[in-house]
Structure 1
Amino acid sequence: MTDIGVEAIVSGGGLNSPQRGRSVAKLFRHRSFVIGFAIIAALTLAAILAPLLTSLDPSAMKVRLRFRPPAPGFIFGTDMFGRDIFTRVLYGARVSLFVGLAVSVISGFCGAVIGVVAAQFRKLDAPIMRLMDALMSFPAILLALGIAAALGPRVSSVIAALTVAYVPAGVRIVRAAALVVREMDYVQAARLSGASALRIIVRHILPNCFSPLLVHLTFIFAYAILAEAALSFLGVGVQPPLASWGNIIAEGRDYATEAWWVMLFPGIAISLAALGMNLLGDALRDILDPRLKGGD
């Protein structure tokens, strides 16, 4: 999202305007939002209800059933160890969606705090933004790969690595929004009335930075799911026997020709999750940016 787009969303009042109720109603009439919400809700429910949808253990090995193609007994087939792919995809959704949610929430919180501090305290602005520029000079996936390799292959390392990789973009977006809000009349009035910097940040600046940040975080959720899959595929992400969409694909790469289903179904799940979050982000941007007209 560009700084101009951020300014437009902030000037339009975002989620804190008197029209907030109407904006929510518009969201549920927006085709992209409805489709994206349905996709993400279905994937989330499938992950939560995994024990009810299948009675199999995702790590249980039955070598005599290895490489069974999709059939009524195993609708997604089995892998090289005879494990049911449908079960592993369901349980893998728990890990992959959790990583996406954790990265978006933590990076959003850190981005909001650092971005507002940079905008409000001018002496800290330059050093903070130069540090963010330095982090952004590395491709996010390469930065995450290096951090995850240094911390070790586990879920917490993946979350930490992706958070560091995606925080700078959030900082820039919040800072751009905060710089706009900081110069508005009601903030200047609060400052002249003697309100402390902390009160101004918490009561006036942060709430008006939420809208552009929310739009950004929907895309970060999708990027994090894709990046987790990439890190697991490269061997520095979530490790077996814990299932994630990425390591299921990694385990099936050596059998891509004779057992294509091992990679196909987790790949479809990743694509659906990324599509759903991008549709949600597009809808939020359409509704919150007054320069755009959201489709109903």
Structure 2
Amino acid sequence: MGKTCASTLALSAPFPVQYLALMSRYGRGDLGVMDSGQSVRSAIVSATPSSLALIGCSIALYLLVTVLGKVIVRGQGSIGHLLAAAPLSALPGIWVGLLSVYFLSYRWAVLPATHAQSVAIPAVGSRLWLSTLTASPLTLLEDATRHFALPVVALTFVAFAAQAQVWDGTAGSGFDSPAGALAHLLRSFPALLGGLAPVETLFRWNGLGALFVTSLRGGDYALGLGILLASSVCGATLLALADGIEPKIDTGKMFSTPSRRGARYGFGTLLVIACFVAVVPLLPSGPIDLGGLGGSNAPPRLALPGSPAWFYLLGTDSTGHSVLMWVTYGGRLALALAIASALLAIVIARLDALPRRVTAIQIVLDALNSTFRATPYLLLLAVLQSFISANRTWLVVVLAGTAAGLVVSRQRHNGWTLRTLPHVVASLLLIQSAVDFLGVGVRAPLVTWGAGLANSTDYMAWGNWWWWFFPGLFLAVAAISLRACPGPSG
């Protein structure tokens, strides 16, 4: 951490003094200074237009798909039923984005994979390249559209996932009225702001999300906290506006009850995954061959337990590490963190059932609930985890503490039941995987499914699809299976 950041945050002073100094500066509108000497406010202002353009296009695409969906299902339900039927809230958006980049950019070369525009643009019908300074407006528009396509679709996927969560939370209330639909869209804005971080990191977009991740990786916490504060103020303002539009909508019933067949499939798939990550490392693999079968970048191959190739069933990475072992050990830690954090979060949330005279506990839980609703949860968790080392105990405490507000909100409307657990585990599994993908969560030598997706675009051009495909596949199947388990019905 640089001297400028340490001075800005008054890190040499006691914690109460640090907190009061920070709140005093924020109250005056002073967000501090970056390690480079640039004002945090000016850095945020300069990065905001790129993110606003991405959000605006994503909302436009979301509204277009919603309108088309209403036309398609007219007389057969509403667009909300499509949200409820699709596993949008359980699919890891990062993995879906990686799939789109791999096929549309690297395999088929249809769309560019990174940045908002080209440095040089190919002239129409010619092998010559034009500078962006001399290209026509129509050519520039076409180039920008091609660069915007994948990031906009990825962020729109985040918007639909957030709306699917709201659909569960309101039992479909308000989706058919314009005012209710607008209120729901505003309530999902904190999730959309949080989604900027992984989307802009994946597509190397020069916006607030990428700036936020860069600040945390580089230890420039003044900038990271400034972006978190600005996002939280924006989220709180939009939530207040949404409550003014539709104050009667209940956002606490966050679960629906799936079919019994879906629940059986969910439990069965979870059992298979649990057995896989627990048993596979114990199976005999024969002698480990670091020269032939286990060379760097070896592709997946069919093999039976006990054969020399079994250890390399899912291929290897650039250093010859087995992807199979990465998936199994990463699955162990990812599931263990999510389950332990969910249990601890539920224990914390159960304090809400104490008599109302315990006002201190109620104040803390109310603050957690309000923070969860207004703050981009992914950004908050990333900031907190960037302050700690890769200690598993602290990871559980931070993840559970920030998730307690989520559980309190759901518990106050649905009551306490053990059926809450699978859905909370699914949410924490996905959010922790996103933080690991950003590189500020679980760090080496520990591995998780989310960490397996990190830096994927750096080696995707090599054609080594198995490095990121299998961790993402297991993450997606586990999250969908958890969401398929029955939860408290609205």
TM-score, normalising length: structure 2: 0.42
Tell me the residue number matched to 1:44: 274
Question: In the alignment, which residue of structure 1 is the partner of 2:353?
Answer: 116
Is the counterpart of residue 210 in structure 1 residue 412 in structure 2? no
Q: 1:131 and 1:57, CA in 2 relative to 1: closer, same or farther beyond 3 A?
A: farther
- The Cα of 1:265 is off from its aligned counterpart by 0.3
Structure 2 gap segments, 5+ residues each: 1-168, 171-249, 303-308
* Inter-partner Cα distance in structure 2 for 1:57 and 1:129: 54
Which consecutive unaligned segments of at least 5 residues does structure 1 have? 10-25, 178-208, 292-296
Report the alpha carbon displacement of residue 160 of structure 1 after superposing the two structures with TM: 2.2
Match of 1:267 among 441, 466, 472: 472
1:227 and 2:437 are equivalent in the alignment: no
Q: Which of 321, 325, 336 is the matching residue for 1:87?
A: 325
- Identity over aligned pairs, percent: 23
Looking at both structures, which has the greater relative contact order when contacts are Cα pairs under 8 Å and sequence separation is at least 6? 1
Does structure 1 residue 175 correspond to structure 2 residue 175?
no
In the alignment, what sits opposite 1:12?
Answer: none
Q: Given residue 233 of structure 1, which amino acid in structure 2 is its aligned partner?
A: F
Amino acid at match of 1:89: V
Higher normalized helix content (fraction of residues):
1
- SS where residue 487 of structure 2 aligns? helix
Give, in whole Å, the separation in 2 of the partners of 1:97 and 1:56.
Answer: 28
Count of matched residue pairs: 232
Measure the CA separation in 2 of the matches of 1:164 and 1:220: 13
User: 1:228: how far off?
Assistant: 2.0
Q: CA deviation at 1:134?
A: 4.0
Change (3 A) 1:5 1:31: farther
What letter matches 2:410 in structure 1?
A: I
Structure 1: how far apart are the matches of 2:409 and 2:434? 25
2:64 corresponding residue in structure 1: none
2:420–2:487: 8 Å Cα contact kept in structure 1?
A: no
Alpha-carbon displacement from aligned partner over 1:32-91 (angstroms, at most 9, x marks no partner): 110100111111111221333454899x97697000111233321110111111121111
| CA distance, structure 1, for counterparts of residue 398 and residue 421 of structure 2 | 16
- For residue 201 of structure 1, what is the aligned residue in structure 2? none
Matches within 5 A, 1:89-168: 89-113=327-351, 115-117=352-354, 120-121=356-357, 123=359, 127-128=363-364, 130-136=366-372, 137-168=374-405
Q: 1:176 to 1:67 in 2, by over 3 A?
A: same
| C-alpha distance after superposition, 1:9-35 (max 9, x if no partner) | 9xxxxxxxxxxxxxxxx99x8101101
Q: TM-score, normalized by length of structure 1?
A: 0.68
Q: Is the 8 A contact 2:339 2:425 kept in 1?
A: yes
Letter matched to residue 475 of structure 2:
I
Cα distance between partner residues in 2 of 1:57 and 1:45: 24
2:99 counterpart residue number: none
Instruction: State the one-letter code of the partner of 1:226.
Output: L
* Range 252-261 or range 85-94, more displaced: 252-261
Q: Is the 8 A contact 2:369 2:409 kept in 1?
A: no
Which residue identity is paired with 1:210? Answer: W
Structure-2 separation of matches of 1:78 and 1:40: 25
CA change 1:165–1:249 in 2 (3 A) is: same
1:61–1:83: 8 Å Cα contact kept in structure 2? no
Distance 1:267 1:169 in 2: 25
* Backbone CA RMSD of aligned residues: 3.3
Q: Distance in 1 between matches of 2:356 and 2:325?
A: 50
| Cα shift at 1:133 | 4.0
What are the Cα deviations for residues 114-155 of structure 1, in whole angstroms up to 9, with x where unaligned? Answer: x213x6438558634541244222121111111101122333
Paired residue type of 1:108:
I
Match of 2:481 among 270, 276, 282: 276
Q: Is the 8 A contact 1:36 1:279 kept in 2?
A: yes
- The whole-number CA distance in structure 2 between the counterparts of 1:96 and 1:234 is 15
CA distance in structure 1 between the aligned counterparts of 2:330 and 2:291, rounded to whole angstroms: 19
Report 1:184-263 matches (<5 A). Answer: 209-211=415-417, 214-250=418-454, 252-258=456-462, 259-263=464-468
